[in-house]
A and B are shown apart, each in its own frame.
Chain A
């Protein structure tokens, strides 16, 4: 009757699940040891495998967990996939899908409950490091990789493997394709022309645009942030990270470093004069109604609002914005839209490889076949096309070797995390805006590799502080950034006082000492 708090409910469910799985877990262990003990031929075949041919005589059913909703045409595509898989490695795959609405709760539960599955989509933004440290994923050794996924082992650049290591151990087969994660701005070119504004290529030009829209366009909100993207959000990443050539190891912590700094000196972003400058920039925009006054409580989808002409600019990454542009053009939107990079001369960085990856479940009964499966998904052209784009002629029409044309049925096979199989074999959407592709090419030329690219922060020792700092960021920094607090100086002072109290210095020290150790080891 009384609504219990979600938290308590969650912990109750968790404990229950774990109590149940405690019994289940034992069964699993005994089951998995049994076949190894009783089947003599298996060990023979293993020695045979070293000769090159892997034993796949026994049919195996694999199960993989994806995030995102189950695609409408899942059955058709996966049936096709399984036919080919059976031929090649005598295995079939079954997908389980965690919908976007509650994947964040379900994902850790799948691992905590030790459910029966072999593969799981993993990513830095899905708690990869954390889940690996808690023992959810199988450690992948070089021997295993070389033996069961020879093509991937050969194709994947070493830096990608290194980036995926947690405490020196590998728990993921990362995607094999650089992906830009720099944020940029999508705006209404027709409005810019209407008010005769200069090209948007600097923060100042962007301000002009926002102010002109605010002053003249009734009913159009100049900028709408992405709901849920708080803490160091999209605009911060453009105007702070890119503009200053900084980077952060974790966008939930206000700790940054200069890209060019060989020593990897960490500093508190909130204490820099650059941050204060940014706050004044934001405050000016807020005072000129560049965004809704109640932006923190709005739950509107910024992409939808943009598409419908309710907002005049949004910020996200190239892939997302390019796809939105393509969609709007396909639907003959009355609005002319364009991309803006307001920091064109900054150094660009690509996503670290753990942006998308596949991990093997720690208690998988068939890790060998699971690795072979990933190998095929990434590197077998036919299977790769199938998992990424669906059935040829139905869900896509191939154009040349590396492009495809969307069909009406494309939407029936999309929207879930098959991205972990990204590889050089990927096909790009033919209608992806040319200017986006061009801009991407320019960025690719400016990609800067920095010493801390492969560093992963282990926050075990400062968990309490990380929790409190996150809270302070939401409570003090975000209202300040959206210009809701009238006195910027005082707001900033409060923020920094609270940051200190929450233990930011301790996190900084801990991170610095880990970085120092990491760099010392790398320079040996």
Chain B
């Protein structure tokens, strides 16, 4: 009976299952199969032995990370930057989505949406170059303007204190369009009857937003946040590397695990050591997502991821 039911379902939903297949295949190939590679983190890799034949060397590969004395600093930086990105980006994206939804005007909405989305497609290399041309001391636009007003130029690239703000702003600018579209989709799927009912009850626009739109966005916010939290210990390498590069002055404020590991291993090129750093990030990420999910579950069972 059960078996019969299963096959029936397969046949019945074949189109949907077929649509799912590429995603399943993708994760199988690129997420599950490579997990075997975790053993590399504990091996002294050589070509003759390959992944399975190389000799074990215990925890030797991760030694460099903890002995550097920077492990805590870069781990903290990574987490704090990501928390800031998640909170600020989500707030801005929700804000922009609600604005776009309320302002209406098809053409205005479409054009604004495209303009907001544009930065998402600019590669970090280009963003890094733009930032350098805006911010550098000698010929940067910002300093040229300051000098034009007779003010002292500011040496942004040699002052770590500015950088957390700059990075948060750049990240928000770049991610705004993408997130806005996602939230806008969520808002448009809210049942319009609710708005009509609210209007009949005499709710003004702010009450409508606060009492109808935002509560209905909670599930989307929670899911997106949960997904992002799993990556909280992975720095956005493209962003940090292209914005900061090899400027040691700024490292104290801007080093994340990924840039730190990249710099340490770029000359030695050791596969085992880089794999070990990856495992470290994965373990931390796994622990965080389990914890956050547990917390959400306790609070509201239906909204947890699993």
Give the number of chain A interface residues (Cβ < 8 Å): 59
**A466 in the interface, Cβ–Cβ < 8 Å?**
yes
**B267 in the interface, Cβ–Cβ < 8 Å?**
yes
A475 to B266, CA, bound (A): 14
**A471 in the interface, Cβ–Cβ < 8 Å?**
yes
**A47 in the interface, Cβ–Cβ < 8 Å?**
no
Q: Are B36 and A19 in contact (CB under 8 A)?
A: yes
In B45-60, the 8 Å CB interface with A consists of: 45-52, 60
Q: Are B68 and A468 in contact (CB under 8 A)?
A: yes
Q: Mark A1-25, 1 if CB is under 8 A from B, else 0.
A: 0111111101110111011011001
Main secondary structure on A side of the interface with B: helix
A108 to B265, CA, bound (A): 13
Q: Are A474 and B249 in contact (CB under 8 A)?
A: no
**B90 in the interface, Cβ–Cβ < 8 Å?**
no
In B35-51, the 8 Å CB interface with A consists of: 36-37, 40, 45-51
Q: Mark B255-278, 1 if CB is under 8 A from A, else 0.
A: 000101111111111110111011
Quote the shortest CB–CB distance from A113 to chain B (angstroms): 10
Chain A neighbourhood of B231, CB < 8 A: 2
Most interface-central of A108, A130, A479 (chain B CB within 10 A): A479
In-complex Cβ contact of B270 among A4, A252, A463, A502 (8 A): A463
Quote the shortest CB–CB distance from B103 to chain A (angstroms): 27
Chain A neighbourhood of B262, CB < 8 A: 6-7
Chain A neighbourhood of B277, CB < 8 A: 7
Q: Are B47 and A111 in contact (CB under 8 A)?
A: yes
Q: Mark B212-251, 1 if CB is under 8 A from A, else 0.
A: 0000000000000001100100111111010011111101
Q: Are A4 and B234 in contact (CB under 8 A)?
A: yes
In-complex Cβ contact of A252 among B29, B40, B234, B267 (8 A): B267
Q: Are A8 and B47 in contact (CB under 8 A)?
A: no
A475 to B260, CA, bound (A): 10
The interface stretch among B132-140, B202-210, B291-299 is B132-140
**A459 in the interface, Cβ–Cβ < 8 Å?**
yes
Main secondary structure on B side of the interface with A: helix
Q: Mark B129-162, 1 if CB is under 8 A from A, else 0.
A: 1001000111000000000000000010110000
Chain A neighbourhood of B47, CB < 8 A: 111-112, 114, 134-136, 362
**A97 in the interface, Cβ–Cβ < 8 Å?**
no
Chain A neighbourhood of B158, CB < 8 A: 293-294, 484
A299 to B234, CA, bound (A): 26
**B14 in the interface, Cβ–Cβ < 8 Å?**
no
Q: Mark B91-111, 1 if CB is under 8 A from A, else 0.
A: 000000000000000000000
**B5 in the interface, Cβ–Cβ < 8 Å?**
no
The residue in chain A whose Cβ has the minimal distance to the Cβ of B281 is A8
Q: Are A11 and B278 in contact (CB under 8 A)?
A: yes
The residue in chain A whose Cβ has the minimal distance to the Cβ of B66 is A464
**B22 in the interface, Cβ–Cβ < 8 Å?**
no
**A503 in the interface, Cβ–Cβ < 8 Å?**
yes
Give the number of chain B interface residues (Cβ < 8 Å): 67
The residue in chain B whose Cβ has the minimal distance to the Cβ of A10 is B274
Q: Mark A345-383, 1 if CB is under 8 A from B, else 0.
A: 000000000000000001000000000000000000000
Chain A neighbourhood of B33, CB < 8 A: 16, 19
Report the number of A-B residue pairs with Cβ-Cβ less than 8 Å: 181
In A461-477, the 8 Å CB interface with B consists of: 463-468, 470-471, 474-477
**A127 in the interface, Cβ–Cβ < 8 Å?**
yes
A53 to B249, CA, bound (A): 64
A111 to B268, CA, bound (A): 15
**B64 in the interface, Cβ–Cβ < 8 Å?**
yes
Q: Are B263 and A470 in contact (CB under 8 A)?
A: yes
Chain A neighbourhood of B235, CB < 8 A: 5
Quote the shortest CB–CB distance from B270 to chain A (angstroms): 6
Chain A neighbourhood of B157, CB < 8 A: 293-294, 296-297
Chain A neighbourhood of B258, CB < 8 A: 5-7
A471 to B275, CA, bound (A): 18
Q: Are A463 and B138 in contact (CB under 8 A)?
A: no
Quote the shortest CB–CB distance from B34 to chain A (angstroms): 4
In-complex Cβ contact of B278 among A7, A459, A468, A485 (8 A): A7
Chain B neighbourhood of A135, CB < 8 A: 46-49
**Contact of A3 with B238 at beta-carbon distance under 8 Å, contacts A8-B278, A11-B40, A293-B137 already known:** yes
Residues of chain A at the chain B interface (Cβ within 8 Å): 2-8, 10-12, 14-16, 18-19, 21-22, 25, 108, 111-112, 114, 127, 130, 133-136, 230, 252, 292-294, 296-299, 362, 459, 463-468, 470-471, 474-479, 484-485, 498, 501-503
Additional pairs, 8, CB under 8 Å, beyond known A18-B50, A299-B245, A467-B273: A2-B231, A5-B236, A15-B36, A15-B40, A16-B30, A130-B268, A464-B64, A464-B273
Residues of chain B at the chain A interface (Cβ within 8 Å): 29-30, 33-34, 36-37, 40, 45-52, 60, 63-64, 67-70, 128-129, 132, 136-138, 155, 157-158, 227-228, 231, 234-239, 241, 244-249, 251, 258, 260-271, 273-275, 277-278, 281
- Complex A-B: 5 CB contacts under 8 Å: A7-B277, A11-B34, A14-B40, A16-B30, A297-B157
